[in-house]
Amino acid sequence: QKEVEQDPGPLSVPEGAIVSLNCTYSNSAFQYFMWYRQYSRKGPELLMYTYSSGNKEDGRFTAQVDKSSKYISLFIRDSQPSDSATYLCAMSKGGYQKVTFGTGTKLQVIP
C-alpha cells in the first residue's frame, strides 16, 4: 500500500464548477501538507501549504486537512480553463523528513 493515495483522474468539469481534489494517507506522523499544480511539460509549483489539521484559504483555493480521517482536500471555486493541470498532494512528517508526493490528479476545465 502506498503511503499517499490520489485518484489519477482525469477529472473533467465545466467552467465555473466547484472542484474537489482529494488524497488519503496512511502515516499518522505526517504534519505538513501541500498541494502543487503542474501544467503539461512544466515543473510542479506550490499552490497551498498547511500545517496539521484545519482549513486554509487563498483566493479561489481552499485546502482542508482532516488528520483524524487521514484525508486532505483541495477545493477550487469558480474553476477556470487556466486551472486545467495536474494537481499533486504532498506531505511530510516535519523534523527534516522527506516529502512524499501523491501521483497527481489530472483536471480539465471545459470552457
Residues that bind another protein (CB under 8 A): 6, 8, 32, 34, 36, 41-46, 49, 88, 92-99, 101-104
In the complex, what is the shortest distance from the CB of residue 21 to another protein, in angstroms, rounded to a whole number? 15
H or E element at residue 71 = strand 71-76
Burial class (CB in 10 A: 0-12, 13-18, 19+), 81: exposed
Chain Cα centroid distance, residue 88: 5
Residue 74 in 3-state DSSP?
A: strand
In the complex, what is the shortest distance from the CB of residue 41 to another protein, in angstroms, rounded to a whole number? 7
Q: Which is nearer to another protein, 49 or 75 (CB)?
A: 49
In the complex, what is the shortest distance from the CB of residue 78 to another protein, in angstroms, rounded to a whole number? 26
Q: Which is nearer to another protein, 19 or 47 (CB)?
A: 47
